[in-house]
Amino acid sequence: MDNFNYHIPTDICFGKGQISQLGKRMSPLAKKVLLVYGGGSIKKIGLYDQIMQQLQQAGITVFELAGIEPNPRIQTVKKGIAICKKEGIDAVLAAGGGSTIDCAKVVSAGACYDGDAWDLVLDRNKIKKAIPIAAILTLAATGSEMDGFAVISDMDKHEKWGTGNDLTKPVFSIMDPQYTFSVSKYQTAAGSSDIMSHTLENYFNNTKGAFLQARLAEGILKTVIKYAPVAVEHPDDYEARANLMWASSLAINGLIRYGESTAWTVHPMEHELSAFYDITHGAGLALLTPYWMEYVLSEKTAGKFAEYGVNVWGIDSSKEPMAIAKEAIAKTREFFLSIGMPSHLKDLGIDETHFDVMSKKAANGGLRFGFVPLKKEDVKKIYTMAL
Amino acid sequence: MDNFNYHIPTDICFGKGQISQLGKRMSPLAKKVLLVYGGGSIKKIGLYDQIMQQLQQAGITVFELAGIEPNPRIQTVKKGIAICKKEGIDAVLAAGGGSTIDCAKVVSAGACYDGDAWDLVLDRNKIKKAIPIAAILTLAATGSEMDGFAVISDMDKHEKWGTGNDLTKPVFSIMDPQYTFSVSKYQTAAGSSDIMSHTLENYFNNTKGAFLQARLAEGILKTVIKYAPVAVEHPDDYEARANLMWASSLAINGLIRYGESTAWTVHPMEHELSAFYDITHGAGLALLTPYWMEYVLSEKTAGKFAEYGVNVWGIDSSKEPMAIAKEAIAKTREFFLSIGMPSHLKDLGIDETHFDVMSKKAANGGLRFGFVPLKKEDVKKIYTMAL
């Protein structure tokens, strides 16, 4: 097990009706709040009115930044920053999924930064200060409600990068699984795939002796495997929505990563897909993950895949590791297909046109430190397998 | 899944050599620190000198409260409070196991309280303020390094009660598994039993749909089952010590309890044993747990025990739930025996003399809200089974 520093300060208010805590939790932080949200689904489900009532009762003035995109744009971030600076905003409240929360995080940092906000996306160390961030989650997926990360895109440049640090961790997050009842089947499946991917990318690592972390990760994987199909079929199943929502936070808040050397591998490959084609992040992850698994499977890695197969998928441990590994990968693919995720790039209208530049950019990240280190040629091969 | 509020603010510095962070982390908190420790083992392993060097280099004046008992006494707590008040102490630093940290917590609260410190043990709501607490852990067991709980005894009255709230959560804890290399086989086994017991007491609950929490608990149980025997046999096995140490924190910091209605059952029964006979807490838990399991096993509860048997002990799931349940309980008993824990009260010099009063006091706590509600007659029967 590696050394680590555990630091998860975000206060979570989880469960039915927790919106009632909004006013009293926001009061000590702010007099003027920027409410950040997406396409208006929070109005449809009545959340917008609940927020306004809570904040107004607490004597807080609300400004708005609406229309956050599924892959949030730097241009939108900049609009939010301008409002913060002009109006002297004290805190940013995101109401939505990961995109909205990510946008709010960089707005909060940009509000305290004099240069171009894109600098903060390219270099997280430039974030030296941020106004407080709070979140109300409406989609179980990115875990942004309980970590400091944010992914922002500049679609004009086909750029999509992760940023954030301890300063951009939400002070509190309200997580009421009922707000996810209206999430579509496709987005439910994509969000669940994102949770699976976060967990798998931490699980497949080379650190010796991080046994406990691996068992916790398996617990999260089993939870998603059990409940994603339930939520897709029965959108208002509270138990399924609650388990998925809490799994989304624990998959990426550090709990299963502390003590391990991990590096994002499938995520950077997917970021290129959504930067070039604006596809749903989770769908891209569900698509790429089994191909990545097949590509990195070898005599050397079969043992870890077999551990995954036995402990997560319940495959008979008396079989040969390589056989278990292959069965585990097949089950992973079947799972993503079963919840309606795509399995070929062509189905998303993606061909080889940009493979060279996408592979090069993807390989610029942490891929060389991954479970199996990958170069741009490897990434291109994985994209090609996925066609 | 029940509603919950997640709040784990303690900063953890985990791993080899993390003592190097002590000075810089303590500096912003205090100019005068009360160092609380036990029987001197921290001197034997060189930790005392490391602490002094770190604090002195940080310009901090150190006062000392040594000799904390394995079941810390209110009388000792009061000595610490007197030093705090007399010297104007800003923070308390505990270096030791759970007893030492527990003592430090009530000292820190007592330093801000004008009445009798025993009030704070009997009623945690009377803790309204506390000076900052930090911990350096030398025993994987109670999880006190990452929660607000403290258990304090008055041996003259045979009283042992739990107290603490958010104010008594350590600000930071340094967890270097190497400090546990010198822990004896018996104390290693007792500490591991304590971790098992914390996890089991949360795992066996009646909340519907807290699936994720159950899977995380199973991960902790599997970790202790794997590594406790290793640490008993090979005291300087870093991997084993690290996994046990981190498991000790996660077992009781709230992670596996959030979203569930749980109530301590075996713990209150054990507290009476150690209050009357001053035995090692973890040994008492290891002894009582299998008897408690046998006592509460019924057609109604067999399903949960079978879940435990299949997921934790790998028992064939095609068997009848009752058969799996019995096998799981037998394996639990075998496990505790295998690491050297006692299985009969007589072996600890305990007979039925105080059973009536012990049963009555134990049943005063949360036992009526437990997985299977218990009254004093039930407790007496369990004690009797355990003779």
- Distance CA(B144)–CA(B142), nearest Å, equals 5
Q: Which tokens in the block code for residue B312?
A: 């934790």
Query: Is A216 within 8 Å of B218 when comparing Cβ atoms?
Result: no
In degrees rounded to 5, what are phi and psi of residue A344? -135, 135
Q: CA distances (Å), A197 to each of A118, A165, A261, A285, A339, in order?
A: 27, 21, 17, 7, 15
Compute the distance between CA of residue B363 and CA of residue B64 in angstroms, rounded to an integer: 37
Q: What is the pLDDT of residue A196?
A: 98
Rg for chain A (alpha carbons), in Å? 20
DSSP class of B73: B
Spell out which residues of chain B touch residue A215, defining contact as CB-CB under 8 Å.
218-220, 222-223
> Hey, what domains does chain B have and what are their CATH numbers?
11-180 (3.40.50.1970), 185-385 (1.20.1090.10)
Sheet holding B61-65, edge to edge: A4-6, B11-14, B172-175, B133-137, B91-96, B32-37, B61-65
- In this prediction, residue A158 carries a pLDDT of 84
- Furthest CA-CA distance within chain A: 66
Do B5 and A13 make contact, defined as CB atoms within 8 angstroms?
yes
- pLDDT over 90 at A364, yes or no: no
B234 at interface of A, judged by CB pairs closer than 8 A = no
Residue A180 C-alpha, separation from nearest chain B C-alpha, in angstroms: 15
Query: Would an 8 Å CB–CB cutoff place B239 in contact with chain A?
Result: yes
Asked whether B22 and B136 are in contact (CB, 8 A), the reply is yes
Nearest to B215 among A3, A14, A219 (CB): A219
Q: Tell whether B20 is within 8 A of chain A (Cβ).
A: no
Question: A4 and B14 in contact by Cβ < 8 A?
Answer: yes
The strand pairing partners of A133, in sequence order, are A92
- CA dist B191 and A353 (Å) reads 60
Asked if B17's CB is within 8 angstroms of A5's CB, the reply is no
Residues of chain A with Cβ-Cβ distance to B223 below 8 Å are 211-212, 215
Give me the residues paired with residue A5 across strands: B13
Average pLDDT on A270-276 reads 91
Chain B interface disruption, residue of A176, A216, A318, most B CBs within 10 A: A216
Tell me the count of A-B CB pairs closer than 8 A: 116
**Angle at CA A252, nearest 5°, toward A26 and A230?**
95
Nearest to A215 among B11, B18, B223 (CB): B223
Render pLDDT for A312-351 as a digit per residue (tens, 0 to 9).
Answer: 999 999 999 999 999 999 999 999 999 999 999 999 999 9
Instruction: Give the nearest chain B residue to A19 (CA atoms).
Output: B3
Give the chain A residue nearest B239 (alpha carbons).
A209
Residue A82 has pLDDT above 90, yes or no: yes
Q: Do A215 and B211 touch (CB under 8 A)?
A: no
CA distance A155 to chain B (A): 37
Flag whether residue B39 sits within 8 Å of chain A, measured between CB atoms: no
Interface test with B, best of A1, A176, A195 (most B CBs within 10 A): A1
Chain B partners within 8 Å of A226 (Cβ): 211
Cβ–Cβ contact B8 with A under 8 A: yes
- Given this model, what pLDDT does residue B131 score? 98
Contact call for residues A324 and A338 (beta carbons, < 8 A):
no
Walk along chain B (387 residues) and give the pLDDT tens digit of each residue. Answer: 999 999 999 999 999 999 999 999 999 999 999 999 998 899 999 999 999 999 999 999 999 999 999 889 999 999 999 999 999 999 999 999 999 999 999 999 999 999 999 999 999 999 999 999 999 999 999 999 999 999 999 988 888 889 999 999 999 999 999 999 999 999 999 999 999 999 999 999 999 999 999 999 999 999 999 999 999 999 999 999 999 999 999 999 999 999 998 889 999 999 999 889 989 999 999 999 999 999 999 999 999 999 999 999 999 999 999 999 999 999 999 999 999 999 999 999 999 999 999 999 999 877 889 999 999 999 999 999 999
CA A194 to each of CA A328, A333, A348: distance values in angstroms, whole numbers, following the listed order: 18, 14, 17
Is pLDDT at A59 greater than 90 in this prediction? yes
User: What count of other Cβ atoms lies within 10 Å of the Cβ of residue A351?
Assistant: 9
Whether residue A209 and residue B242 make contact (CB cut-off 8 A), yes or no, is yes
Check if the beta carbon of residue A160 is closer than 8 Å to that of residue A153: yes
- Residues A125-149 have pLDDT tens digits of 999 999 999 999 999 999 999 999 9
Asked if the Cβ–Cβ distance from B1 to A246 is below 8 Å, we say yes
| Chain B partners within 8 Å of A239 (Cβ) | 1, 208-209, 211
Cβ-defined contact of A211 to B11 (cutoff 8 Å)? no
Q: Which of B2, B166, B279, B250 is nearest to A17 (CA)?
A: B2
pLDDT at A365 over 80: no
How many Å apart are CA A206 and CA A253, to the nearest integer? 20
Residues paired with A120 in a beta bridge? none
- Return mean pLDDT, chain A: 96
Q: Which residues of B are less than 8 Å from A18 in CB distance?
A: 3
Look at residue A155 in the predicted model and tell me its pLDDT.
84
Beta strands in chain A, from DSSP E residues, in sequence order: 4-6, 11-14, 32-37, 61-65, 91-96, 133-137, 150-154, 159-163, 172-175
Q: What is the DSSP string of A113-150?
A: --S-THHHHH-GGG------EEEEE-SSSS-GGGSS-E
Q: Cα–Cα distances in Å, from B84 out to A50, B22, B48, B65?
A: 47, 20, 20, 10
Provide the whole-model pTM. 0.95
**A357 CB within 8 Å of a chain B CB:** no
* Cβ–Cβ gap A243/B1 under 8 Å: yes
ipTM: 0.94
pLDDT in tens, A283-320: 999 999 999 999 999 999 999 999 999 999 999 999 99
CA distance A57 to A52: 8
Taking CA atoms, what residue in B is nearest to A212? B223
What distance in Å separates the CA atoms of residue B241 and residue B232, rounded to the nearest whole number? 10
Nearest CA in chain B to A208: B239
CB within 8 Å of chain A, chain B residues 150-209: 208-209
Put simply, whether A291 touches B (Cβ < 8 Å) is: no
CB contact under 8 A, A3 and B17: yes
Q: Which of A185-199, A264-278, B174-188 has the lowest mean pLDDT?
A: A264-278
Residue pLDDT, tens place only, A149-187 = 999 999 888 888 899 999 999 999 999 999 999 999 999
- Angle at which helices B355-362 and B266-277 pack, to 10 degrees? 140
What's the Cα-to-Cα distance from B66 to each of B112, B113, B163, B164, B233, rounded to whole Å? Answer: 21, 22, 22, 22, 30
Q: Is B318 on the interface with A (CB under 8 A)?
A: no
Give the angle B379-B385-B387 at the CA atoms, nearest 5°: 105
Average pLDDT value for residue range A244-262: 95
Distances (CA, A) of B100 to A354, B26, B95, B134, B169: 62, 18, 7, 11, 14
Rounded to whole angstroms, how far apart are CA atoms B129 and B145? 19
**B143 interfaces chain A, CB cutoff of 8 Å:** no
Query: Token pair 């009969």 is at which residue?
Result: B344
Inter-residue contact B104 to B110 (CB < 8 Å): no
CB A76 within 8 A of CB A65: yes
- The phi, psi pair for A148, rounded to 5°, reads -95, 0
Distance, CA of A191 to CA of A247 (rounded, Å)? 11
* DSSP, residue by residue, B164-218: --GGGS-SEEEE-GGGGTTS-HHHHHHHHHHHHHHHHHHHS---TT-HHHHHHHH
In 3D, which of B289, B199, B210 has the Cα closest to residue B249?
Answer: B199
Of A10, A247, A258, the CB nearest to B212: A247
Q: Is A237 near chain B, with CB under 8 Å?
A: no
Contact list, A13 vs chain B (CB under 8 Å): 5
CB within 8 Å: A218 and B220: no
Burial class (CB in 10 A: 0-12, 13-18, 19+), A223: buried
Interface test with A, best of B11, B137, B246, B316 (most A CBs within 10 A): B246
Please report the pLDDT score of residue B159 as a whole number.
86
Q: What angle do CA B6, B10, B16 make, to 5 degrees?
A: 130
Q: Quick check: B14 and A258 CB within 8 A?
A: yes
Chain A residue numbers with beta carbons less than 8 Å from the beta carbon of B239 are 1, 208-209, 211
Q: DSSP per residue over A242-289, as a string?
A: HHHHHHHHHTTSSTTTTTS-----HHHHHHHHHHHH---HHHHHHHHH
Q: Is A4 on the interface with B (CB under 8 A)?
A: yes
Q: What are phi and psi of B329, to 5 degrees?
A: -65, -40
Compute the distance between CA of residue B356 and CA of residue A266 in angstroms, rounded to an integer: 62
Query: Chain B partners of A220 at a C-beta cutoff of 8 Å?
Result: 212, 215
CA-based nearest distance A79→chain B, Å:
33
Nearest Cα of chain A lies from the Cα of B347 at a distance, in angstroms, of: 33
CA atoms within 13 A on the CB side of B45: 21
Whether the predicted pLDDT of A44 surpasses 80: yes
Please answer yes or no on whether A5 and B16 come within 8 Å at the CB atom.
Answer: no
Residue A226: closest CA among chain B residues belongs to which residue?
A: B211
Contact check, Cβ <8 Å, A3/B18: yes
Min distance A176 CA to chain B CA atoms (Å): 9
**Cα of B269 to nearest chain A Cα, Å:** 29
